[in-house]
Structure 1
Amino acid sequence: MNAINWFELFVSDFERARRFYGQALATTLETVDSMGGRMAMFPCDPESGVGGCLSDSMEQQPGAGGTRVYLNVEGQLDAVLERVPAAGGEIVQSRMAIAPHGFIAVIKDSEGNVVGLHSMS
């Protein structure tokens, strides 16, 4: 069983946030309309049971100080960190070893959310 099965990053400018994560992670986030607003889905492996999205919700606001999620960027940590500033974000904590569990970094996205990145290499 995974400790996490779903996460939502709340955004104030949906398209800006979708572009940020698409550019920083070098991926495409599929947009889905939901009952609470729009969602941009992060790529996930259905067998893992873990997924997440950007959420354009009137009930929630983005920003630092809340829950921190760590996105799996396996083998791509340095490449993602290189793309973050050009995508409109900033690096809060550069690559740091957390032996024996690999490496992490922390970024601030285009919406002000503080998000962790994790890779074993």
Structure 2
Amino acid sequence: MMPTNVAVWFEIPVSDLARAVSFYETVFAVTLDQSGCPSGMTIRLALFPADKGAVTGCLIEHEGHTPGDSGSIVYLNGGVDLSEPLARAEAAGARIVVPKTPITPELGYFAQFIDSEGNRIGLHSMG
């Protein structure tokens, strides 16, 4: 049986894919997949790594996809303790807009920052 998730995919708009890839690879200590798009498409993507069947997404550079700090907020996995990727984000030039904040013991912690492209991004972790 497939897991039932309301969210299945996300796209984070960027204006400079190379800069954004460098930022997110630094923050999350991962390698994004830039293998390309189907031929004939003008969209440039960099895919976040994910386990098979897990919710994932990409950075997207394309006309009509404009970075911004208002509207929906994508929350990314902050690992065991979101303090670590949050510190890497700040060191990489992010502006912290909500520091690590407890939700409840059962729900963990969250934080928010403005990324290299001007997007408001959230982090979540249990620690």
Structures share a fold, TM > 0.5? yes
* Deviation digits for residues 81-118 of structure 1 (CA, Å, limit 9, x no counterpart): 11112212111101011112111000110000000000
Q: 2:18 aligns with which of 12, 15, 18?
A: 15
Q: In the aligned structure 2, how far is the partner of 1:83 from the partner of 1:63?
A: 21
Following TM superposition, by how much is the alpha carbon of 1:31 offset from its aligned partner in structure 2, in angstroms? 0.6
Relative to structure 1, the CA distance from residue 36 to residue 5 in structure 2 (aligned partners, 3 Å threshold; closer, same or farther) is farther
Q: In the aligned structure 1, how far is the partner of 2:56 from the partner of 2:42?
A: 18
Unaligned runs of 5+ in 1: none
Q: In the aligned structure 2, how far is the partner of 1:103 from the partner of 1:36?
A: 38
- Equivalences, count: 120
Q: Does 1:73 align with 2:69?
A: no
Q: Does 1:105 align with 2:108?
A: no
Aligned-residue CA RMSD in angstroms? Answer: 1.2
- Provide the secondary structure at the position in 1 that maps to 2:116: coil
- Provide the secondary structure at the position in 2 that maps to 1:101: coil
Unaligned runs of 5+ in 2: none
TM-score by length of 2: 0.89
Q: 1:27 — aligned with what?
A: 30
Overall identity of the aligned pairs, in %: 43
Bigger Rg over Cα? 2
Q: In the aligned structure 2, how far is the partner of 1:44 from the partner of 1:73?
A: 14
Between structures 1 and 2, the one with greater strand share: 1
